[in-house]
């Protein structure tokens, strides 16, 4: 999932094994995540949710940067690469069919934030 912001896109990448990374265009982010149960579960839930939405997506050949306020979803399967996009506002308000997928991606971000705020950081 990529989201377009004024400072540049934010990219969330997850895999079925529970690996999850968040890349910020500023150069920061979080890599891995599989070693943390909460991140691993969120990543696996995001991948599982993505599989349910793949039939609604179209084949993709390139990766244009998301526009401001837009979220783009990419799914790579054995059958190829698929994508779909929607306004982040509509996704966040639950007014788009892809909203559940957006919420699953947001949960990955939430779990990383909770780790970052945990005692001992």
Q: Does the pLDDT of residue 118 top 70, yes or no?
A: no
Residue 35 has a pLDDT of 87
Q: Does the pLDDT of residue 119 top 90, yes or no?
A: no
Residue 115 has a pLDDT of 83
The DSSP annotation for the chain comes to -EEB-TT--EEEEE-TTS-EEEEETTS-EE---TTSHHHHHHHHHHHHHHHHHGGGSEE----PPPPBTEEEEEEEETTEEEEEEEEHHHHHTT-STTHHHHHHHHHHHHHHHHHHTSTT-
Nearest CA-CA partner of 11 in 54, 27, 111, 45: 27
Cross-strand partners of 13: 21
Nearest CA-CA partner of 105 in 121, 86, 119: 86
- Residue 41 burial by CB count (10 A; 0-12/13-18/19+): exposed, middle or buried? middle
pLDDT band at residue 32 under the 50/70/90 scheme: confident
Q: What is the pLDDT of residues 48-99, one digit of tens each?
A: 999 999 999 999 998 888 999 999 999 999 999 999 999 999 999 999 999 9
User: pTM of whole model > 0.85?
Assistant: yes
């Amino acid at each position: 999932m990529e989201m377009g912001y004024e400072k540049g896109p934010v990219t969330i990448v997850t895999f079925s094994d529970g690996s999850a990374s968040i890349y910020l265009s500023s150069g920061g982010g979080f890599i891995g995540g599989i070693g943390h149960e909460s991140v691993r579960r969120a990543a696996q839930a995001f991948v599982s949710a993505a599989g349910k939405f793949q039939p609604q997506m179209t084949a993709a050949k390139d990766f244009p940067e998301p526009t401001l306020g837009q979220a783009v979803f990419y799914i790579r399967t054995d059958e190829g690469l698929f994508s779909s996009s929607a306004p982040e506002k509509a996704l966040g308000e639950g007014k788009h069919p892809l909203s559940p997928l957006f919420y699953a991606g947001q949960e990955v971000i939430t779990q990383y934030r909770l780790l970052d705020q945990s005692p001992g950081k």
